[in-house]
Amino acid sequence: MRATTIHAPYDMRVEDVPEPVVQLPTDAVVRVLRACICGSDLWAYRGEAARQPGQRIGHEFLGVVEETGSEVSTVRRGDLVVAPFMWSDGVCDYCREGLTTSCEHGGFWGSVGYDGGQGEAVRVPFADGTLVQLPKDAASDDHLLSALLTLSDVLGTGHHAALGAGARPGATVAVVGDGAVGLCAVLAAKRLGAERIIALGRHEVRTDIARRFGATDVVAERGDAAVEAVRELTRGQGAHAVVEAVGTEQSMRTAVNITRDGGAIGFVGVPHGSGTGLDLGVMFDRNIALRGGVAPVRAYIPDLLPDVLDGTIDPSPVFDMTVDIEGVPGGYKAMDERTALKVLVTGDR
Amino acid sequence: MRATTIHAPYDMRVEDVPEPVVQLPTDAVVRVLRACICGSDLWAYRGEAARQPGQRIGHEFLGVVEETGSEVSTVRRGDLVVAPFMWSDGVCDYCREGLTTSCEHGGFWGSVGYDGGQGEAVRVPFADGTLVQLPKDAASDDHLLSALLTLSDVLGTGHHAALGAGARPGATVAVVGDGAVGLCAVLAAKRLGAERIIALGRHEVRTDIARRFGATDVVAERGDAAVEAVRELTRGQGAHAVVEAVGTEQSMRTAVNITRDGGAIGFVGVPHGSGTGLDLGVMFDRNIALRGGVAPVRAYIPDLLPDVLDGTIDPSPVFDMTVDIEGVPGGYKAMDERTALKVLVTGDR
């Protein structure tokens, strides 16, 4: 089959690789119908996260079950399924508590020896714990498929950020980061009842999506000017709930400074750089909490799925470019150059 | 009257100062019956927190109302009252939400121009918002007075830490820091229903109090060895809820490393040093939250007071040395040299 591989920074290839097969009784093989490129894939693309030459990549996909191991009981051949960005066994302490990202047997797509989502098919470990069934008729609805694909990462991650920040009815939420996760956090905050949602971003295409997702205000300024602008919008107090969806020191510093006393930062931007951007003295004086991390999206899918299926929320506008598998390297280039927000990859139909 | 002043590092004096009087209609004057020395006073004593020569000090006291301004309505002359470690107006947004430490008109005892608790009397701004009435007959009960005095800071701060860490029925709580606040966090965690409480500390006198307060396990190791010991006690997972009651990089590092995935650190140690001790990468991967800061103890007093009055909790063992006002400098020395855990100051009777 064809699959995306990474050989060096900026060297993405689509190559012939062995067809995946069931290796363990808990495995399934899924033929990929839709996948996408994540902002966090760019860290590997740019060489800021190390990869071995030839390693697979891609951690967001949905598709059709092709084969299952003898112990798999919740999905079967022909089922339409979505995979979260990590696999998990579904039975350990952490999985039972909903923290599937801490699963004792969990792992990441594209790890050495494992398939990635940006390929024609994927061997899925712990299929019962990992995969979630979708209605079969969704397979013929392009728009709905795009929306459902966000359950694999960005929608659940935005939801995790909004929960961590404490988005709730009546609250003012501010979102730092105008990438797909930040935009999904706007959508999630709206869904959780936030009264006012301030999106920080300067790219009009993105802030337009933010408004469509529920943002009531947009702040285009950065740094100190952004802090001042948010404070002006909030009677000088700051936002009750702040989402940090970038992962840089600067964005975290902004997040701390726009949080209202007693509020919280929900952080889901993968931390980069040596410093944290956290001023612990300020957080102490003002009782600002920090909650978040890698999102246990598997645990959120049952909660979010019905709202996506019935159209209550439609995250599909985060995709603004579509490629087939051979076009994946071009998709990386577009996202790296910020000419695309998020790239959809259509698989074998 | 006599009051404690600080002139330079290690130069504490007890001097004649003007008697406080009501200056504003919202003021009260309180004659101090009991005060104490706080671990955080030592930062000033050691010169690690700047003070102007002659500045007052002490932020924990209870006493008898001597005079009230014309607008004070909730306390009157003769009432026994306890003061939290900051004053607050009781009516602003933050006060109404229970975050009295962020009060728009709040302030600290011993600030330039204000009395400190380690003196014979104190002018109390915003008496209605600040002071809490106690039963008058407690004034004749030495033991109860000591217990009630902890409502001004250490008990409420320990409670804030336990809440921030997420202490709850069934949880395993670990407490980093064997000072009076750490010990009160043990007591608070027990009160909140924690099933297992691991106290980290190597001073037997203190860990004995921790056991009396509800600690089920004591870990005397430090650094990596402490982390290993806590993990051994928790099936390798760490504690659901971790209190950080020291404020150093090392103690925060320990706190992060002994927290179970998905758990939280309740931090109340005043941050010292340039680094935070926070490994954001670890916190991200394991979804470890950080909550806490300066404790809004005023808001907690109504909740904690009944349990202190009826003996459900007795925090008084944190006091292991008693001095009168003239003995305060000696009390600082004893706490600095760790020959005393916490020093009680008896006032004018």
**Sequence-distant (≥ 6) Cβ neighbours of residue A205 within 8 angstroms:** A320, A341
Alpha-carbon distance values, B160 to A237, A342, B99, B265, B291 (Å)? 22, 42, 11, 11, 9
Number of residues that make up chain A: 349
Which residues of chain A lie closer than 8 angstroms to B283, CB-CB? 290, 293
Q: CA-CA distance, B3 to B119, in Å (whole number)? A: 4
**Closest among A234, A164, A166, A257 to B93, alpha carbons compared:** A234
Q: Report d(CA B27, CA B123) in Å as an integer.
A: 7
Nearest of A44, A24, A14 to residue A335 by alpha carbon: A44
Residues pairing with B108 in the sheet: B86
Can you tell me the distance from the alpha carbon of A174 to that of B277, in angstroms, rounded to the nearest whole number? 27
| Amino acid residing at A131 | L
First and final C-alpha spacing in chain A: 14
- Give the neighbor-by-neighbor strand order of the sheet with B11-16: B11-16, B2-8, B55-56
Residues contacting residue B204 through CB under 8 Å, at least 6 positions apart: none
Please judge whether A294 and B271 are an interchain contact, meaning their C-beta atoms are less than 8 angstroms apart.
Answer: no
Tokens representing B119?
Answer: 């003196």
Question: Which residue(s) pair with A205 in the sheet?
Answer: none
Distances (CA, A) of A171 to A192, A196, B330: 10, 7, 50
pLDDT at A272: 80
Give the separation between CA B44 and CA B57, rounded to whole angstroms.
9
Taking CA atoms, what residue in B is nearest to A249?
B280
Which residues of chain B lie closer than 8 angstroms to A271, CB-CB? 280-281, 284
Q: Which of B102, B278, B289 has the CB atom closest to A262's CB atom?
A: B102
The answer on pLDDT for B176 being more than 70 is: yes
Q: Does A280 touch chain B (CB under 8 A)?
A: yes
Which of B97, B237, B283 has its CB closest to that of A293?
A: B283
Q: Closest partner residue to A280 among B164, B276, B291, by Cβ?
A: B276
Which chain A residue has its CA at the smallest distance from B268's CA?
A284
B109 touches chain A (CB under 8 A): no
Residue B117's CB: how many other CB atoms inside 10 A?
32
What is the per-residue pLDDT for B348? 59
Q: Which of B290, B294, B297 to mutate to test the interface with A (most CBs of A within 10 A)?
A: B290
What's the rounded Cα separation, in Å, for the pair A345 and B17?
77
- Residue (of A93, A114, A113, A112) closest to A103 by Cα position: A93
Task: Nearest chain B residue to A160 by CA: give it.
Answer: B287
Helix H or strand E segment including A11: strand A11-16
Query: B262 and chain A: CB distance < 8 Å anywhere?
Result: yes
Distance in angstroms (rounded) separating the CA atoms of residues A320 and A149:
14
Q: What's residue A287's pLDDT?
A: 98
**What chain A residue is nearest to B295 in terms of C-alpha separation?**
A287
The rounded average pLDDT for each run of 10 residues, N- to C-terminus, in chain A (349 residues) is 97 98 98 97 94 97 98 98 98 98 98 98 98 97 98 98 98 97 98 98 96 98 96 98 95 97 95 84 97 98 98 98 98 97 86
Q: What DSSP designation does A119 have?
A: B
**Residue B267: Cβ-neighbour burial (10 angstroms; 0-12, 13-18, 19+):** buried
Q: Which residues touch B308 (CB under 8 Å, ≥6 apart)? A: B144, B147, B148, B150, B151, B155, B314, B315
Give the integer Cα–Cα distance in Å for A64 and A34. Answer: 10
Question: Between β-strands A132-134 and A80-83, what pairing exists: parallel, antiparallel or unpaired?
Answer: antiparallel
pLDDT score for B349: 47
Q: Which one-letter DSSP state was computed for residue A18? A: P
Domains annotated on chain A, with CATH: 2-153+296-346 (3.90.180.10), 158-292 (3.40.50.720)
Q: Within the 198-237 window of chain A, which residues sit less than 8 Å (CB to CB) from chain B?
A: 237
Burial class (CB in 10 A: 0-12, 13-18, 19+), B36: buried
**With an 8 Å Cβ cutoff, is B270 touching chain A?**
yes
Contact at CB, A261 and B289, closer than 8 angstroms: no
pLDDT tens for each residue of B234-277: 999 999 999 999 999 999 999 999 999 999 999 998 888 778 88
Asked whether the beta carbons of residue B278 and residue A281 sit closer than 8 angstroms, the reply is: no
Q: How many CA atoms lie within 13 A of A252 on its CB side?
A: 25
> How many residues comprise chain B?
349
Q: Say which residue the tokens 């033991």 belong to.
A: B143
Q: Tell me how far apart the alpha carbons of residues B155 and B147 are, in angstroms, rounded to a whole number.
A: 9
Amino acid at residue number A254: T
- Cα distance between residue B197 and residue B182, in whole Å: 12
Residue A41: phi and psi, rounded to 5, are -65, -25
Enclosing H/E stretch for B259: strand B259-267
- Calpha distance A280→A265 (Å, rounded): 13
Structure tokens at B220: 């005397």
Q: Give the Cα separation of B139 and B130 in Å (integer).
A: 19
* Strand pairing report for A172-176 and A239-244: parallel
Q: Which residues pair with B176 in a beta bridge?
A: B200, B244
How much is the mean pLDDT over chain A? 97
Mutate to test the interface with A, among B237, B284, B286, B297 (most CBs of A within 10 A): B284
Measured in whole angstroms, how far is the alpha carbon of residue A332 from the centre of its chain?
A: 16
Give pLDDT tens digits for A35-77.
999 999 999 999 999 999 999 999 999 999 999 999 999 999 9
Is B283–A296 a contact, with Cβ atoms under 8 angstroms apart? no
Write out chain A residues lying below 8 Å of B261, CB-based: 94, 99, 102
> What's the gap in Å between the CA of B330 and the closest CA on chain A?
30
d(CA B95, CA B82): 17
Please report residues of A whose CB lies closer than 8 A to that of B286: 102, 293
Percentage, residues of chain B above pLDDT 90: 96
| Threshold 0.90, pTM exceeds | yes
What pLDDT shows up at residue A270?
Answer: 85
A152 and A244 Cβ atoms separated by less than 8 Å: no
pLDDT of the residue at A7:
97
Whole-angstrom distance, CA of residue A297 vs CA of residue A45: 24
CA A243 to mean position of chain CA atoms: 14
Helix ranges (DSSP H) in B192-293:
204-213, 223-233, 249-257, 280-286
Is the torsion defined by CA of A207, A287, A254, A337 positive or negative?
negative
Rg over CA atoms, chain B: 20
B168 interfaces chain A, CB cutoff of 8 Å: no
